[in-house]
Every structure is written in C-alpha cells, then in structure tokens.
C-alpha cells in the first residue's frame, strides 16, 4: 500500500502527498474509524500508509511512528522550530522569546531564532539587537536577523530549513507570512496589518499546513499565538529547558536544586559572576512562580 505525508488537515479531511515520484499533488483522505477508537488523531507531518479509493480519494489506514509530536500547534515529526520575533512593531519581547524556547526545548526540537523587520531599526536599536544576538548565541542558539521587505537573510533562513519539517512560531504580526512569501515567490500567504494601538497583528493563518520549499524543506505555517501556558510541563523540568543551566545544575550541592534559594547552587553563582545572563535567570524565576501558581489553581 502507498505511503505519504499529511501536508494539510481541514474539516475532517487529510491531504496526503504520496511518496511515489510519479504522483503529483495530494490525495484527499478520510481517517479510518479505528483511530478514534484508539484515541489517535492523524496530524499534519505524519507519515502514513493509505489506500486509494475508486473516486480518486483515499483512506488513511496507519500512522507510522512519530519522531516528535507538538500539541500546539498540532504537528508531527517537526525537528526544527523557527522562532520569529520582530525587532519593532511589535517590539522585541525577550520574556516571550524565552517562554517559546522553554516549550521548544521540552518538545525536543532544535531552535532557530529569527529576528524580523530589520529595515525598521535606527542606530540605537541596531545596538540593542546586536546585544540580543550576542546573548542568545552565547547561550548556544543560532540567531538570524532578517528583513522580508529588503530580502535580507532569506537565503540563510532557507539553508537552515533544508531537510527538516519546521514549525514557524511567534507572536502574531511579526512577519511569519511575509518571510515565507519572500522565500517562496508566488506563495501569496495572507499578511496582516499591524495595529499600532495594540502593537500586534490580526491572526491570518487559519489552519496548519505544510508548505514545501524547493530544497526538500517543509514549513508548517501555523496559527499565530501570543501567549503560552505551562500546563504540559512539570516544574521540575523547567531548569533543563534553559540549556545553559544544565551543565552547572549537575554540580549544585543539592540534587533537584530549584536554583532559587538553596546554598551551593552553581547556577546562581554563575548569574552573579556574569556566566549566565541576568535576564535569562529572571525569566526562569518568573516562569517557575507562574508554574507554581498554576499548579495550585488546578
């Protein structure tokens, strides 16, 4: 039976791109009832076995094992998350960036930070962005600065996507659709006007869909979202999602150190000596408290 990749899910249908080189386009499929009985739901990014039906459509019969699974956005087998944050309109929000990074680390994906709208910056903002790039590169992340308007950084982003199913994520209005349009001429995804009063854009992406680039990459253009919660993450897992904490946490005096108040905490020592950025540690403390508060509420 043929195999393929689910590239879109919409209104109960799964659109499967066949592996067979001689087949163009996608096959519109329904899922078998067995999935519902087992509590399974096919996701965009799933590799599947399907059966063609007489009317030119098909039935998804089996889901092949997943390497990764995201709950929000619902995507399977993504290996790279491109976190898009604009340097302006809306302003760069490092607390939200760190929150996204925590979720991406917890999901087991590699992160690429992409700072958009470089064309809007003045000289003072250039310096601020340069410091941000340096901070996150020292932590261990790759950071690219782009401008869809001027075409800056498009090829470098595209090179990093090759061979991956990537999730594009970030606040609404930061230029996800503009960047994809710039990388793939003729795509014409709907872009949104920015509300200067609210500092954010309208959500323009209505469903998850994989967009195929010409270098073997698939990009999940996902619904924009401006906040994340920590309901699927345990408070004891938080520190491991700050990748610069991990090698130091093993040297803390107490096993299971929260890095908040315990004596002999190597993480706090590194913050005091400048080895860990103060902003990253402050966000860790904020997230820790937020998770504690949520746990009490639920």
The pLDDT tens digits of the residues spanning 64-74 come to 999 998 877 78
Ligand-binding annotation for 117, yes or no, is yes
Across 218-227, average pLDDT: 63
Q: Beta strand pairing status for 69-70 and 75-76? A: antiparallel
Tokens encoding 236: 């004891």
Ligand-binding annotation for 175, yes or no, is yes
Q: Is the pLDDT of residue 228 over 80?
A: no
Give how far Cα 291 sits from Cα of 172, 188, 230, 232, 269, Å: 24, 39, 6, 10, 24
Give the least confident one: 33-42, 95-104, 273-282: 33-42
Q: Is the pLDDT of residue 102 over 50?
A: yes
Ligand-binding annotation for 171, yes or no, is yes
Query: Does a cis peptide bond (omega within 30 degrees of 0) precede residue 73?
Result: yes
Ligand-binding annotation for 129, yes or no, is no
151-172 pLDDT, tens per residue?
788 889 999 999 999 988 877 7
Across 138-157, average pLDDT: 90
Q: Which residues pair with 17 in a beta bridge?
A: 5
Q: Beta strand pairing status for 218-221 and 165-169? A: parallel
CA 205/CA 223 separation, integer angstroms:
5
Residue 214: CB atoms within 10 Å = 9
Length of the chain: 298
Residue % of the chain over a pLDDT of 70: 87
Residue 283: CB atoms within 10 Å = 20
Q: Is the pLDDT of residue 197 over 80?
A: no
Domains of the chain from N-terminus onward: 3-64 (2.40.50.140), 70-221 (3.40.50.300), 235-297 (1.10.40.50)
Q: Is the pLDDT of residue 173 over 70?
A: yes
**Per-residue confidence band for 297, with pLDDT thresholds at 50, 70 and 90:** low
Ligand-binding annotation for 114, yes or no, is no
Tokens encoding 99: 């929150």
Q: Is the pLDDT of residue 225 over 60?
A: no
CA 294/CA 287 separation, integer angstroms:
10
CA 206/CA 221 separation, integer angstroms:
9
* Residue 191: per-residue pLDDT: 44
Q: Is the pLDDT of residue 201 over 50?
A: no
CA 278/CA 270 separation, integer angstroms:
10
What integer best gives the mean pLDDT of the chain? 85
174 or 149, which is more confident:
149
Q: Is the pLDDT of residue 206 over 90?
A: no
Residue 212: CB atoms within 10 Å = 13
DSSP letter string, 140-185: T-EEEE-BTTTTBTHHHHHHHHTTSEEEEE-STTSSHHHHHHHHST
Ligand-binding annotation for 172, yes or no, is yes
Across 49-67, average pLDDT: 94
* Residue 185: per-residue pLDDT: 62
Ligand-binding annotation for 178, yes or no, is yes
Ligand-binding annotation for 174, yes or no, is yes
CA 138/CA 132 separation, integer angstroms:
10
Q: From the CA atom positions of the chain, what is the Rg in Å?
A: 21
CA pseudo-torsion sign 162, 210, 98, 130: positive
Ligand-binding annotation for 252, yes or no, is yes
Across 45-58, average pLDDT: 94
Residue % of the chain over a pLDDT of 90: 50
234-256 pLDDT, tens per residue?
888 999 999 999 999 999 999 88
Ligand-binding annotation for 216, yes or no, is no
Are the CB atoms for 117 and 129 separated by under 8 Å?
A: no
* Residue 135: per-residue pLDDT: 96
Ligand-binding annotation for 24, yes or no, is no
Ligand-binding annotation for 127, yes or no, is no
């Amino acid at each position: 039976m043929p195999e393929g990749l689910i590239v879109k899910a919409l209104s109960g249908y799964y659109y499967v791109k066949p592996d067979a080189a001689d087949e163009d386009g996608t096959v519109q499929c329904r899922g078998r009832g067995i999935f519902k009985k087992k509590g399974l739901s096919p996701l965009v990014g799933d590799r599947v076995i399907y059966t063609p039906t007489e009317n030119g459509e098909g039935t998804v019969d089996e889901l092949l094992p997943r390497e990764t699974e995201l709950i929000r956005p619902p995507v399977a087998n993504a290996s790279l998350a491109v976190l898009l944050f604009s340097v302006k309109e809306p302003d760069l929000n490092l607390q939200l960036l760190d929150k996204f990074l925590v979720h991406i680390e917890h999901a087991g994906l590699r992160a690429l930070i992409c700072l958009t709208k470089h064309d809007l910056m003045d000289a003072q903002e250039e310096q601020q962005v340069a410091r941000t790039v340096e901070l996150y590169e020292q932590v261990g992340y790759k950071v690219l600065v782009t401008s869809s308007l001027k075409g800056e950084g498009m090829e470098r982003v595209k090179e990093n996507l090759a061979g991956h199913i990537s999730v594009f994520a970030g606040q609404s209005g930061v230029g996800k659709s503009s960047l994809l349009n710039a990388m793939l001429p003729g795509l014409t995804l709907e872009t949104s006007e920015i509300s200067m009063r609210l500092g954010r854009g309208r959500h323009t992406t209505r469903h998850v869909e994989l967009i195929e680039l010409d270098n073997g990459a698939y990009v999940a253009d996902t619904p924009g979202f401006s906040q994340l919660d920590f309901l699927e993450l345990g408070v004891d897992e938080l520190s491991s999602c700050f990748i610069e904490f991990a090698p130091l946490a093993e040297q803390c005096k107490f096993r299971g150190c929260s890095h908040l108040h315990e004596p002999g905490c190597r993480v706090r020592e590194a913050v005091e000596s400048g080895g860990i950025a103060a902003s990253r540690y402050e966000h860790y403390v904020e997230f820790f408290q937020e998770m504690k508060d949520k746990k009490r509420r639920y």
